[in-house]
Structure 1
Amino acid sequence: MPRAELDRALGELVEQARKVLDTQGRLRALVRANRAVVSHLELPVVLRAIIESAVELVGARYGALGVIAEGGGLEQFIHVGMSDETVARIDHLPEGHGLLGALIDDPRPIRLDSIADDPRSSGFPEGHPPMTAFLGVPITVRDAVYGNLYLTDPVAGGFTEDDEQLVKALAANAGFAIDNARLYAETVARQAWSASAAEMTAGILGSEAEQSREELATRTATLVGARAVLVVGFDLHDDTFRVLGASGAAGDLDPTTNSRIRSAIEGAQPTRLDELSGIRLPDGRGSGPALVIPFDGMSGEPEVLIAVRATGDPAFSAFELERTATFSRQAALAMELAEARADHERVVLLEDRARIARDLHDHVIQQLFGAGLELQSVQSALGPGRLADRIDGTVKSLDDAIAQIRTAIFSLSHQQGPAESLRHRLLDIVQEVGEALPRPATVSFSGPVDLVTDAALADDVAAFVREGLTNVVRHAGAGTATVEVVASADEITVDVADDGTGIGGASRRSGLANLSERAERRAGALDVESTPEGTRLRLRLPVSVEGVR
Structure 2
Amino acid sequence: MEEDAAPKLPLLLEAVLGIGIDLDLPTTLQYIVDTATQVAGARFGALGVVDPDRKQITELFTSGITDAEREQIGALPTGETGLVGTLIRDPQPLLINDVTTDPRAAGVPEGHPAMRSFLGVPIRVHTEVFGNLYLSEKRSGPFTEDDLAVLQVLASQAGIAIGNARLYASARQRARWIEGAAAVTNALLTGESAEDALMTVAEQARILADASAGVVLQPTADGGMEIVAASSTDDPGDIVGTTIAPGSPVLVQLLGGEPVFIEDSATDPRMTTHVRTRFGPSMMLPLQSGGRLIGTLALPRKRYGRPYTAVERLLATQFASQAALALVLADAQHNREQLAVYEDRDRIARDLHDLVVQRLFATEMMLESTRRRDTAGNADELLSRAVDELDSTIQEVRTAIFALQQPPTETPSSLRSRVLRETAAISTALGFRPSVRFRGAVDALVREPTDQQLLTALRGALTAVRERSDISVVEVDVDATIQLPDGTAGVRLMVRDDGRGEDTGAGTTVSWQAPR
TM-score, normalised by the number of residues in structure 1: 0.61
1:216 to 181, 196, 201: 201
- Which residue does 1:265 correspond to in 2? 255
**How many Å apart are 1:106 and its aligned residue?**
0.8
Aligned pairs for 1:336-415 within 5 A: 336-379=328-371, 382-387=374-379, 390-415=382-407
Please state if 1:275 is matched with 2:264: yes
C-alpha change, 1:258 and 1:24, in structure 2 (3 Å) is same
Residues 206-244 of structure 1, C-alpha deviation per residue, up to 9 Å, x if partnerless?
3321232233233333332333443222269x5333332
- Which residue does 2:15 correspond to in 1? 33
C-alpha change, 1:381 and 1:99, in structure 2 (3 Å) is closer
2:61 to 75, 78, 93: 78
Q: Percent identity?
A: 33
- Which residue does 2:36 correspond to in 1? 54
SS at match of 1:120: helix
Q: Distance in 2 between matches of 1:68 and 1:232?
A: 32
Q: Distance in 2 between matches of 1:161 and 1:88?
A: 33
8 Å CA contact retained: 1:271, 1:291: yes
Q: Distance in 2 between matches of 1:89 and 1:355?
A: 72
Q: Which structure exhibits the higher relative contact order, with contacts defined as CA atoms closer than 8 Å and separated by 6 or more residues? A: 2
**How many Å apart are 1:140 and its aligned residue?**
1.2
**How many Å apart are 1:364 and its aligned residue?**
2.2
Residues 408-429 of structure 1, C-alpha deviation per residue, up to 9 Å, x if partnerless?
22332333679xxxxxxxxxxx
Q: Distance in 2 between matches of 1:404 and 1:88?
A: 72
Residues 272-298 of structure 1, C-alpha deviation per residue, up to 9 Å, x if partnerless?
1123333344xx944432211112389
- Which residue does 1:98 correspond to in 2? 82
C-alpha change, 1:24 and 1:384, in structure 2 (3 Å) is same
Moved more, 327-336 or 143-152: 327-336
- Which residue does 1:506 correspond to in 2? none
Q: Distance in 2 between matches of 1:369 and 1:89?
A: 87
2:244 to 237, 254, 262: 254
Q: Distance in 1 between matches of 2:71 and 2:381?
A: 102
**How many Å apart are 1:40 and its aligned residue?**
1.8
Look up the equivalent residue of 1:365 and give its one-letter code: V
C-alpha change, 1:285 and 1:398, in structure 2 (3 Å) is closer
Residues 72-112 of structure 1, C-alpha deviation per residue, up to 9 Å, x if partnerless?
34333333345678768877876543333222111112234
SS at match of 2:48: strand
- Which residue does 1:138 correspond to in 2? 122
Residues 445-502 of structure 1, C-alpha deviation per residue, up to 9 Å, x if partnerless?
xxxxxxxxxxxxxxxxxxxxxxxxxxxxxxxxxxxxxxxxxxxxxxxxxxxxxxxxxx
SS at match of 1:316: coil
Moved more, 54-63 or 120-129: 120-129
Please state if 1:240 is matched with 2:224: yes
Q: Distance in 1 between matches of 2:67 and 2:371?
A: 106
Q: Distance in 1 between matches of 2:166 and 2:10?
A: 27
- Which residue does 1:319 correspond to in 2? 311
Which ranges in structure 1 are unaligned for 5 or more consecutive residues?
1-17, 419-549
Look up the equivalent residue of 1:105 and give its one-letter code: R
**How many Å apart are 1:38 and its aligned residue?**
1.0
**How many Å apart are 1:340 and its aligned residue?**
1.9
8 Å CA contact retained: 2:82, 2:108: no
Q: Distance in 2 between matches of 1:375 and 1:255?
A: 69
Q: Distance in 2 between matches of 1:55 and 1:414?
A: 75
C-alpha change, 1:113 and 1:244, in structure 2 (3 Å) is closer
Q: Distance in 1 between matches of 2:383 and 2:140?
A: 121
8 Å CA contact retained: 1:265, 1:302: no
SS at match of 2:104: coil
**How many Å apart are 1:138 and its aligned residue?**
0.5
8 Å CA contact retained: 1:272, 1:292: yes
**How many Å apart are 1:378 and its aligned residue?**
4.6
Look up the equivalent residue of 1:271 and give its one-letter code: V
**How many Å apart are 1:177 and its aligned residue?**
1.7
Q: Distance in 1 between matches of 2:133 and 2:338?
A: 65
C-alpha change, 1:317 and 1:359, in structure 2 (3 Å) is same
- Which residue does 1:423 correspond to in 2? none
- Which residue does 1:516 correspond to in 2? none
Aligned Cα root-mean-square deviation (Å): 3.7
Look up the equivalent residue of 2:164 and give its one-letter code: N
Aligned pairs for 1:380-529 within 5 A: 382-387=374-379, 390-415=382-407
Q: Distance in 1 between matches of 2:107 and 2:312?
A: 37
Aligned residues: 395
